[in-house]
Amino acid sequence: MLPFLIAIILFPFIEIAGFIVVGRAIGLFPTLGLIMLTAVIGAILLRVQGFGVLQRLNTAASDGGDPGREMIHGAMIVLAGILLLIPGFVTDILGLLLFIPPVRDLVWKHFRNNMVVVSSRSSFFGGGAAPRGPQRPGGKRPNVVDLDASDFSSDPDPNSPWADRDDKRLDDDKKS
């Protein structure tokens, strides 16, 4: 937690230092032009790449594949576009890196084991596929507890602090 806090505090200083270094090397107006150019490029790439990811996500979901990868790629593309829109050279470099598919795959490999993709299909909309429960990207289902009708009850709990209120409200409704 502490390194993250230190990084957040130091980040504006790193961005300002980047402005100074680039401004001295190429001048004020080219530096400002470069910042505006990266913002425009970010908006264009976000639009083009975003639609591509939405198509791949739709294809993966309709084919019964794992949409988790495409969801993460979509989130990284949105983050990359936002980073390019924020003025600064460090954010621009990070944003451009996130637009590169191998970099996104590397990030996906890091997060894939910590994700659970929940997908549900009905036979009416899903073309006959049965509902599936939560699945991990490797196809393994997490631990599932199945209950029989005798394992649970829908009767109100007499120890609940809400039981008195609910009973009074039900009695009032019956009197009306």
Question: 101-111 and 89-98 are packed helices; what angle lies between their axes, rounded to 10 degrees?
Answer: 80
Give the Cα separation of 93 and 27 in Å (integer).
Answer: 19
pLDDT of residue 24: 95
**φ and ψ at 154, to 5 degrees?**
-100, 5
Give the Cα separation of 108 and 165 in Å (integer).
Answer: 49
**φ and ψ at 156, to 5 degrees?**
-65, 145
Q: Are 74 and 39 in contact (CB under 8 A)?
A: no
- Tell me: the pLDDT tens digits for 46-94? 888 877 877 887 787 777 766 777 788 888 888 998 898 888 999 999 9
pLDDT of residue 35: 92
In degrees to the nearest 10, what's the CA dihedral of 41, 43, 45, 51?
-160
Give the Cα separation of 105 and 149 in Å (integer).
Answer: 45
Residue 102's alpha-carbon distances to 55, 73, 87, 113, 142, in angstroms, are 19, 11, 25, 18, 29
Which tokens hold the place of 85? 């829109």
Give the Cα separation of 35 and 37 in Å (integer).
Answer: 5
Query: What's the whole-model pTM score?
Result: 0.59
- Tell me: the pLDDT tens digits for 95-148? 999 988 899 888 888 877 776 666 554 433 444 444 455 555 555 556 667 777
